[in-house]
Structure 1
Amino acid sequence: MTANPGATLLAQLHDALTRYVVMPSEQATDAVVLWIAATHVQPAWAHAPRLVIRAPERRCGKSRLLDIVEATCHDPLITVNASPAAVYRSITPDPPVLLVDEADTIFGPKAGDNEDLRGLLNAGHQRGRPALRYDAATSKVVTIPTFAMAALAGIGAMPDTIEDRAVVVHMRRRASGEKTFPYRARRDREPLRALAQRLTEWLRGDMAVLERAEPAMPVEDRAADTWEPLVAVADHAGGDWPERARTAAVEMTREHNETGEISDRLRLLIDCRTAFADDLALPTAELLHRLRGLEESPWREFGPTGLTAMKLGSLLKEYGIRSATIRFPGSGQAKGYQRADFADAWSRYAPDLDTSGGGEPSQPYQPHNPSSDPVRLDEWYGSSRTSKKAVPPLTSKNEAGTAGTATPLKVVGNNA
């Protein structure tokens, strides 16, 4: 039985990568192989996924990996010595592949005057997002295409706007027992360019099929947009590549979600779940106290005086969560937050959290001296703590109720 030519070509590309580069995982190797292959048929795709090659330190192989990408991808365009105008004008309906080494000079504190290139890299992930420039010579606004796949290598994380649209490879420094074959462009690039030509011939011959491809995706939303071209190539190649592609998509998306930076707003939303523990409502002062007490959280030193009530409200407002004046039994009225108001945001933005209650906070809360608190912690509605002297709540007729009567939590008013 004759092997599928596509599967054979992908295997050859896999061998070339691992010959010159120590990759961090088998899934990362498969992802880079499929990303390179996808560059050879860019006109077929609705999205142009980025390839981010990042490392914590120098000498981790990121530039060497970019060398192999350059030698095997479709029509590489190295941007290091190109002006932004030249890069923009190089993008056509059949675009080159943009290659950016030392990408921290584009996005980091040394970014300088690279705003145009940053804009191109941010906009070019999706079709139909051209750049607009005013042409003084013709007194007209000119539309410039931006759609192009791009590989970026650098130290540290790239901006969220890039990594959220990318296959992210975390390179590591080679261990003493890990060996590679030295790459010499004069000797090795020509055979790799020949492999690139064979990839082009294979994929371009089936352009119409790939344009219509709608592979079943194991990931969702933007991750699905990013991985769809890679999975489509794998399905087209056959063999074990469809399974390998989906495994890589799931594992690398999970890794990125676990190691990626999250916004202060999302971190606050997640930490509020820990701070609430089993309580159904908390005064703002106590919620702030608990947040500042969480280990490894930024809230104690968030701003000049730590997280404030005003900043807390500002961050949570974007999720539709607002404080209210709440009457806490035995403690009077106080500004505070209700657990129920967080439930929708927790389910949408942090779906892996257990929001049903009944669990212990990840960092056990140790209350400070109750005598110094404006509100007694042991009398809050919904608290698992009980006072030393249990007092049955009153009924609606102002009579003593039974031990099982619940005291209603009364919301006096909401802040707009």
Structure 2
Amino acid sequence: MTTPNPATPDGQLVDGAALLDSLRAALTRYVILPGSQAADAVTLWIAATHAQPAWPHAPRLVIRAPEKRCGKSRLLDVVEATCHAPFITVNSSPAAVYRSITDDPPTLLVDEADTIFGPKAEGNEDLRGLLNAGHQRNRPAKRYDANANRVESIPTFAMAALAGIGAMPDTIEDRAVVIRMRRRGPGETVAPFRHRRDRPPLRQLAADLAAWLRADLATLEAAEPPMPVEDRAADTWEPLVAVADHAGGRWPDRARAAVLALTADADDNGEMSTRLRLLTDCRTAFGTDTALPTAVLLDRLKAEPEAPWGDYGPNGLTAMKLGTILREYEIRSDTIRFQTGQAKGYRRADFTDAWARYCPTDDTPPGDTGPATVLPLPGVGRTSRTSLNTAGQTQ
């Protein structure tokens, strides 16, 4: 439901929808986001940071990518310039971060999040605990003050944006708006971001957002927007949808479309060091075929003597692990009709975008036939072993 927008000191009504439009335009000027719903979600997340005292939950923003140079840090730059009271945690002690959180908390910004959750995470237990606990109100950290001889409660509630390579732990992503960044493809361009030149107008936009939302915190706190998801996902997305409803215009519909699109994405914790190699080797394995059964693709990958796939795990690379890694690039298997019968497999067309973005040095050879026929999954019978050992050509 749309709520009346507050007035400025001179009596003019604030157009919240126009402010969100301006913020979205700034984001897409400097960053290539993975889709329109992702752009809407980041826009609403940034706006929601300006009304943190109104929210019962502090959603995280996870900015992740399968490789370097996908725009994670640039997106974090724009978030820093437009969010409420940005607090960059790099070179900050856990004690300093904890003591900075008040009833009107800052927005925590964490770049290179693998230093907190990855192999280099040793020594970051306090900050990791804060990021896990700070999603919900009234979850303070307990610390013993030896000087005062008492236990003190330290607030942890604060919205936080984390950028890193690969998936974050489930304890973070389950409470987050997850943005899966991609390397810029051919023909995709953005404006250069110059901190001294571009940050001041973005900070003015942040001030305008704060003036709009802070004028009606009581209304936002009481808001119970209809949500298209339930449970923890609803807790995470509710502040964003409340901001959209408060703005009105097309934003309520766009917010709910973003909720459905981004929560539908399946996240996994695939291994970063092998993803790009697998993607490149899949291109070689396909040759000129337009589609391959999964078993044939695995055989070709493991047959390459210089590749690691024959020794990848006790029995070499499996269909399950292949699917897990490829899903990071939004590539999924499907049931395909080959000349020898139906089988689970992969289509070249599903790889071409990822190849263009992450493996641009070689041209993708075109297939010599049309696209493979995809069959609906329900009712598909098990195929014979013969059909799984023959490279497929489309009918």
Q: Tell me which interval the TM-score lies in, with the shorter structure as reference length.
A: 0.5 to 0.7
Mark the runs of 5 or more structure 1 residues left unpaired by the alignment.
263-291, 299-353, 367-416
Distance 1:128-1:58 versus aligned 2 partners, 3 A rule: same
**Superposition deviation, residue 260 in structure 1:** 3.3
- 2:218 counterpart of 1:195: no
Give CA-to-partner distance per residue, 1:95-140, whole Å, 9 cap, x none: 0000000001110001120000000000000001000001111111
Among 127, 136, 159, the alignment partner of 1:117 is 127
C-alpha root-mean-square deviation of aligned residues, in Å?
A: 2.3
Q: After the TM superposition, which residues 90-239 of structure 1 pair with which residues of structure 2 at under 5 Å, given as runs?
A: 90-239=100-249
| Greater relative contact order (Cα < 8 A, sep 6+) | 2
Contact 1:4 1:239 (C-alpha < 8 Å) held by counterparts = no
**Correspondence for 1:296:** 319
* C-alpha distance after superposition, 1:224-283 (max 9, x if no partner): 00000000000000000000000000000001xx23359xxxxxxxxxxxxxxxxxxxxx
Q: Which residue of 2 aligns with 1:375?
A: none
**How many angstroms apart in 2 are the aligned matches of 1:66 and 1:32?**
11
Per-residue displacement from partner, 1:337-362 (whole Å, max 9, x unpaired)?
xxxxxxxxxxxxxxxxx9xxx95677
**Which structure 2 segments of 5+ residues have no match?**
1-11, 271-314, 322-376, 387-395
Corresponding letter in the other structure for 2:237? W
Displacement after TM superposition at 1:365 (Å): 9.4
Correspondence list, 1:2-401, <5 A: 5-255=15-265, 258-261=266-269, 296-297=319-320
Q: Normalized against structure 1, the TM-score is what?
A: 0.63
Tell me if structure 1 keeps the 8 A contact 2:134–2:158: yes
Letter in 2 for 1:259: D
Cα deviation, 1:53-72, whole Å, max 9, x if unaligned, reads 00111110000000000000
TM-superposed deviation, 1:296: 2.3
Alpha-carbon deviation of 1:363? 7.8
Inter-CA distance 362–198: structure 2 relative to 1 (3 Å threshold) = farther
1:197 positional shift: 0.2
Asked whether the equivalents of residues 47 and 127 of structure 1 are also in contact (C-alpha less than 8 Å), the reply is yes
Name the aligned partner's letter for residue 238 of structure 1. G
**Aligned mates of 2:49, 2:384 — CA distance in 1:** 50
Structure 2 equivalent of residue 336 of structure 1: none
Partner SS for 1:134: strand
User: Contact 1:57–1:155 at 8 Å: present in 2 too?
Assistant: yes
SS at match of 1:259: coil
Q: Counterparts of 1:362 and 1:166 in 2: how far apart (Å)? A: 38
CA radius of gyration, larger in:
1
* Structure 1 residue 176 displacement after superposition: 2.6
> Could you list the per-position Cα deviations for residues 144-175 of structure 1 after superposition, in whole angstroms to 9, with x for gaps in the alignment?
00000000000000000000000000000111
CA contact 1:123–1:146 (8 Å) conserved in 2: yes
Aligned partners of 2:383, 2:320: CA distance in 1, in Å?
Answer: 11
Name the CA shift for 1:133/1:365 in 2 (closer, same or farther; >3 Å).
Answer: farther
User: Are residues 59 and 142 of structure 1, via their aligned partners in 2, closer, same or farther at CA, if it must alter by over 3 Å?
Assistant: same
